[in-house]
Amino acid sequence: MKTVLRVFLYLIIFVSVAIVGFVCFIQLRGIPKYEVDKIDYPQVQSDSDLVANGMKIASVQCIVCHRGTDGKLSGRLLQELPPEFGEVHSANITQSKEHGIGKWTDAEIAYLLRTGVKPDGQYLPVYMPKFPHASEYDMKSIIAFLRSATPYVQASEIPKVSSKPSFLTKFLCFVAFKKIPYPTAPIAQPDTTNLVEFGHYLVTGRYDCYPCHSADFKTLNMEFPEKTSGYCGGGNKMITLDGKDRFTANITSDEETGLGRWTLDDFSNAMLHSKNKAGKTLREPMLPYNGMTETEVKSIWAYLQTVPKIKNVVDRKWEQD
């Protein structure tokens, strides 16, 4: 009996030491660094079309998170992120050479946006989105926007505040979130006359609807979006600016719990005028997409019809507002 007890005790000590060791390892490892590949990326030759397209993309992809107290993209505390990710501050991405990204080359920006890895090798966790599927044209547009004369990106001297990622974020960077490989060939602009293909691109590339609209940021798969758990089925818990829980809608075409009974007109009204089928105004953090073209709206709608339906009742908590 005594031997059994002793073995049991040793086992407990062994397991405890292993757990403590693992926790220390993850804490000390922190957010990993990666090797930075040399990429061939000529400097973007900007023009007004590129800047306009970049502005349109940035207004729903970058400005929301990076706009600071001075109105420029000087960074801020992202209090709408679930606190389990830690204390997260978006960075100053204005043209300031000291506090922003004024010294970065176009190649360094493209590399970070696609792979998640900064010029010094530092990886940015899930709260900075990656754009591995953006077409070359859209990528150049974002860069042209960052280099443009628009007030958002003029040098702001507000220093960047470092994020304090939680243990969970560090752990997720160990098991799930890793550097995304840089594409081996330039990504062409999708065929805009093929509505489903173009819509797929908009949902997973240009506008990134699926990260918010799938089950959870923790199970996001940015490299292979459709492998994200509960892809487009909603239910992801977001936090409103005044601290309330708000769950994203199921945008698959399930009749009972998704958009199955909506028409293209209903969807268009949601996208362009932020109204849902019942006439309710869609609340933050759903973004206003009023700059979308009719073709974009039609394409997203056509693509959503092809996404596997998910039955998922989402508590929209309308009554609380």
Instruction: Pick out residues in 33-92 that bind ligand HEC (CB under 6 A).
Output: 58, 61-62, 64-66, 78, 88, 90-91
In the complex with ligand HEC, the residue whose CB is nearer, 6 or 280, is 280
The count of other CB atoms within 10 Å of the CB of residue 301 is 22
In the complex with ligand HEC, the residue whose CB is nearer, 5 or 228, is 228
**Which residues on adjacent β-strands are paired with residue 245?**
239
Binding ligand HEC by CB under 6 A: which of 55, 110, 112, 195?
112
Say if CB 141 and CB 54 are below 8 A apart. Answer: yes
- Letter for the amino acid at 99? H
- For residue 180, state whether it binds ligand HEC (rule: CB under 6 A): no
Please report how close the Cβ of residue 100 comes to ligand HEC at its closest, in angstroms: 7
Looking at 39-47, 123-131, 173-181, 184-192, which segment touches ligand HEC (CB under 6 A)?
123-131
Please report how close the Cβ of residue 162 comes to ligand HEC at its closest, in angstroms: 7
Binding ligand HEC by CB under 6 A: which of 207, 217, 231, 303?
207
Q: Cβ neighbours of residue 314 under 8 Å, at least 6 residues apart?
A: 234, 235, 247, 248, 249, 250, 257
End-to-end Cα spacing for the chain: 63
- For residue 124, state whether it binds ligand HEC (rule: CB under 6 A): yes
Say if CB 96 and CB 102 are below 8 A apart. Answer: yes
Looking at 147-155, 177-185, 188-196, 204-212, which segment touches ligand HEC (CB under 6 A)?
204-212
Binding ligand HEC by CB under 6 A: which of 53, 115, 148, 163?
163
In the complex with ligand HEC, the residue whose CB is nearer, 9 or 212, is 212
- Long-range Cβ pairs for the range 221-227 (8 Å, 24+): 222/116, 222/129, 222/130, 222/132, 222/180, 223/132, 223/180, 223/181, 225/133
258 in helix, strand or coil? coil
Q: Cβ neighbours of residue 2 under 8 Å, at least 6 residues apart?
A: none
Instruction: Pick out residues in 232-251 that bind ligand HEC (CB under 6 A).
Output: 238, 246, 248-249, 251
Please report how close the Cβ of residue 104 comes to ligand HEC at its closest, in angstroms: 7
What CA–CA distances, in Å, run from 81 to 25, 78, 218, 274? Answer: 25, 6, 12, 22
In the complex with ligand HEC, the residue whose CB is nearer, 160 or 179, is 160
Binding ligand HEC by CB under 6 A: which of 127, 201, 217, 231?
127
- For residue 200, state whether it binds ligand HEC (rule: CB under 6 A): no
Residue where the block lists tokens 């081996």: 184
- For residue 285, state whether it binds ligand HEC (rule: CB under 6 A): yes
- The verdict on whether omega for the bond into residue 190 sits within 30 degrees of 0, i.e. cis, is no
- For residue 107, state whether it binds ligand HEC (rule: CB under 6 A): no
User: HSE on the CB side for 1, CA within 13 Å?
Assistant: 0
In the complex with ligand HEC, the residue whose CB is nearer, 66 or 309, is 66
Q: Exposed, middle or buried by CB within 10 Å (0-12, 13-18, 19+), for 212?
A: middle
In the complex with ligand HEC, the residue whose CB is nearer, 65 or 224, is 65
Nearest to 205 by CA among 226, 235, 236, 234: 226
Binding site for ligand HEC (CB under 6 A): 58, 61-62, 64-66, 78, 88, 90-91, 93, 101, 112-113, 118, 124, 127-129, 142, 160, 163, 207-209, 212-213, 238, 246, 248-249, 251, 267, 270, 276, 282-283, 285-287, 289, 300, 316
